[in-house]
Amino acid sequence: AFTQQFEKGYQTLATDYHLPLLKSLLEGVESDPTLFQADGLHPNAAAQPRIMQNVWRQLQAMLSKP
């Protein structure tokens, strides 16, 4: 329930302010427990290159639009 409310909040802000919303930053990370800190919530240093690739792929698509 918390996650859904959290996501809805960002979706609402993006819509209200006409901003692009990045999709899942954790694609390819969320299913690999070795990429998370001991708390199981926060990605560790090894996950950062994958997260960067996810962000960059989405940013490139956004930047290429007129």
* Residue 28 to residue 11: CA distance in whole angstroms: 22
Instruction: Enumerate the domain spans of the chain.
Output: 24-66
pLDDT digits (tens, 9 = 90+) for 36-60: 999 999 999 999 999 999 999 999 9
Q: Is the pLDDT of residue 66 over 80?
A: no
Nearest to 22 by CA among 30, 32, 14, 31: 14
Q: Is the pLDDT of residue 14 over 90?
A: yes
Q: Is the pLDDT of residue 34 over 80?
A: yes
Is the whole model's pTM more than 0.75, yes or no?
Answer: yes
Q: Say if CB 9 and CB 23 are below 8 A apart.
A: no
Q: How many CB atoms lie within 10 A of CB 58?
A: 17
Structure tokens at 27: 């694609």
Q: Mean pLDDT across the stretch 19-33?
A: 92
